[in-house]
Amino acid sequence: MTDSILFSPVPVGRAGEEVALQLEAAILSEKIMPGESLPSERELQVQFGTGRGVIREAIRALKQKGLIEIRKGAKGGAYVKKIEVANVSESLGLFLKQNRIDTNELAEFRESIDRTITMLAITRGTVEQKLELVEASARLKTFLAEEEPDLNRLGELDRELNIMLARMTANPIFEWIMCAMQLGFSSHDYALYEDAEFRRNTIVNWCTTAGHIAAGDLLQALSSIGAHYILLRQCVAKRQTAAVKDQAV
């Protein structure tokens, strides 16, 4: 980082915003590559011709965006890092939480994605991946016997299955989208699994789905996917009527 005139001084008013924008631009345009670090706060302070507080707030914003990682001590500073899925997931999660997305709308979206993923997974998934999918779904069956299973653990496995399937598309975008959705909406899924019947049917359905995918049977796999979302919608409807009844009492 030997930049003499990389950043231009900022006048007044929304200085913090300006600084953040300039730093972000420098990062995104790869003037500063991942792994490198921005100048120290005290140096930026003079480069921008502003107070240190302004710099700190800008840095904070970038950190929040997931663009940088901050280390203390000598050779510390703001290191540019690659954005992780977790960032977009958190953002998505907050959005979904505040906007109380209707479960049916979410199901609709997931179903459409799942169908595409299934098609691609059958076409492109390797034999090893398909085998792993079957094994992972088989592990779900251990939850069938238990009276009061660990729902967190179950949700975890379910999430892994979804992501595993998405990875088989050999297109990272599907994997990211799936990760984001899973992370952003895990709480909902857990709640559904409280229903023993839904739990049982879904687990069984996962296994048949995995089998069809491994066998390369596209049509039957899609049918299974459809069946999953029928189950899901039924369960949601059941819970909603139950909730209404609770409210009435």
Partner DNA sequence: TCTGTAGATTGGTCGTACCAATACATGGTT
Partner DNA sequence: AACCATGTATTGGTACGACCAATCTACAGA
Binding residues vs DNA (CB under 7 A): 12-16, 38, 40-43, 49-54, 56-57, 59, 70-78
Nearer Cβ to a copy of itself (95/216):
95
Residue with tokens 């709308």: 105
Among 180, 214, 225, 235, binds a copy of itself (CB under 8 A): 180
CA 182, CA 162: separation in Å to the nearest integer? Answer: 8
Among a copy of itself, DNA, none, what binds residue 83 when CB lies within 5 to 8 Å by partner kind? a copy of itself
Element (H, E) at 222: helix 218-248
Nearer Cβ to DNA (66/149):
66
Positions in 218-247 near a copy of itself (CB under 8 A): none
Decide: helix, strand or coil at residue 201: helix
Instruction: Please tell me whether residue 215 binds a copy of itself under the rule CB under 8 A.
Output: no
Find the shortest distance in angstroms from Cβ 124 to a copy of itself.
11
Nearer Cβ to DNA (75/245):
75
CA 74, CA 97: separation in Å to the nearest integer? Answer: 40
Amino acid at 42: R
Q: How many CA atoms lie within 13 A of 181 on its CB side?
A: 24
What is the Rg, in whole angstroms, of the alpha carbon atoms belonging to the chain? Answer: 24
Among a copy of itself, DNA, none, what binds residue 65 when CB lies within 5 to 8 Å by partner kind? a copy of itself
Among DNA, a copy of itself, none, what binds residue 245 when CB lies within 5 to 8 Å by partner kind? none
* Buried-state track 57-85, b at ≥16 Cβ within 10 A, e below 16: bbbebbeeebbbeeeeeeeebbbbeeeeb
**Tokens describing residue 100:** 């109380």
Among DNA, a copy of itself, none, what binds residue 180 when CB lies within 5 to 8 Å by partner kind? a copy of itself
Residue with tokens 């924008």: 21
CA 93, CA 96: separation in Å to the nearest integer? Answer: 5
Q: Which residues bind a copy of itself (CB under 8 A)?
A: 16, 28, 53, 56-57, 60-61, 63-67, 82-83, 85, 87-88, 91-92, 94-95, 97-99, 101, 105-106, 108-109, 112-113, 116, 120, 171-174, 176-177, 180
